[in-house]
Amino acid sequence: MSPHARDRAREKRRNKKRQSVLDQRATDSRRNKQVLGILLAMVVVIGGFVGLTMALNTEDNTAGRAKAGAPASQAPPALAKPVAGCVPAPKAPTDKRSGTLPDKQTAAGRTFIATVTTNCGEVTMELDGVKAPQTVASFLSLAKSGYWDDSPCHRLTTSGIFVLQCGDPTGTGGGTPGYGYGVENAPASFTYPKGSLAMARTKDPKSNGGQFFVVYKETTLNDPAGYSIFGKITSGMDIVDRVAAAGATPADANQNTAPLQPISILAVNVTEKKAS
């Protein structure tokens, strides 16, 4: 074989080898693209399946809540602007508070003045230790301990009875100082004049504790055991009237209708009223 023939043969073999490499690369590229396409398709399918599953689960959970009769989450209505004289109320306390029932003799036969500072202004109360010594003794003790500091008035009734109820630090209507006592000075007529201060309680007449209410419009309460009247508002009744006029929120899970204008007791200071 001549030298030229050998060169042509070597070049032919090199070209053949080069073409074989190029063909293999092309084959590998096509295979990689196919594999990538399959993987992408699987991701899309799996993603769609997961999304559909999550959507169905959400619908099932929503339906379950509806079937269970659970109320939908609903923000309470808000005032267009705060009642005149009111600033934002503090959050309800989270610490556990309690007290010990004091001897009624600590208040018996005397009159006291309580200055109740709220986020809507000061309300002054005259406490009658002559007619309701146990109630006033309890009030003095709880005030001195700071039991009511930052506690919200959790209930406002605007139909049938007209009271603003306060005195539960938890703001739920279920809080107590850990003791109870009986009714004192309940009106025989079942009528509670405007400005009256009276103790709130459960159906048990001996469940008086820390919760009390202010009557902002003459109210009749026909419970045979009655409710302890232990004093009256002497100034600041206009604050209660403005809060009451703003209305109440819908009843919550505990059947409390909170005032639409939040009002909280920030502090209570009590002094004895000296004879003039």
Residue-wise pLDDT for 185-232, tens only, equals 999 999 999 999 999 999 999 999 999 999 999 999 999 999 999 999
Q: What is the mean pLDDT of residues 99-115?
A: 98
Residues 194 and 261 in one domain: yes
What's residue 254's pLDDT?
83
- Residue 244 in domain: yes
Is residue 126 located within the same domain as residue 212? yes
State the pLDDT at residue 275.
Answer: 79
CA angle 180, 182, 185 (to 5 degrees): 135
- Average pLDDT over the chain, rounded to an integer: 82
Which range, of 19-33, 139-153, 188-202, 239-253, averages the lowest pLDDT? 19-33
| pLDDT tens digits for range 59-96 | 333 223 222 233 333 445 668 789 999 999 999 999 99
Distance CA 186, CA 119 (A): 30
- For residue 113, being part of any structural domain is answered with yes
Q: How many whole angstroms from its chain centre is CA 111?
A: 36
CATH code, 181 = 2.40.100.10
126 and 54 in a common domain: no
Structure confidence by residue, pLDDT tens digits, 116-146: 999 999 999 999 999 999 999 999 999 999 9
Closest CA to 139 of 230, 274, 236: 230
Number of domains in the chain: 2
Cα 262 from Cα 131, distance rounded (Å) = 32
Answer yes or no: is 257 within a domain.
yes
| Structural domain for 53, as ranges | 1-70
Nearest to 114, CA basis, from 93, 131, 136, 92: 136
Same domain for 227 and 165: yes
Q: Is residue 230 part of a domain?
A: yes
* Tens digits of residue pLDDT in 31-65: 655 645 544 445 443 443 333 333 333 333 322 32
Question: What are 253's two structure tokens?
Answer: 């899970």
Residue 82 is assigned to a structural domain of this protein: no
Above 60 in pLDDT, residue 25? Answer: no
Q: For residues 243 and 245, what is the distance between their CA atoms, to the nearest angstrom?
A: 5
Is residue 63 in a domain?
Answer: yes
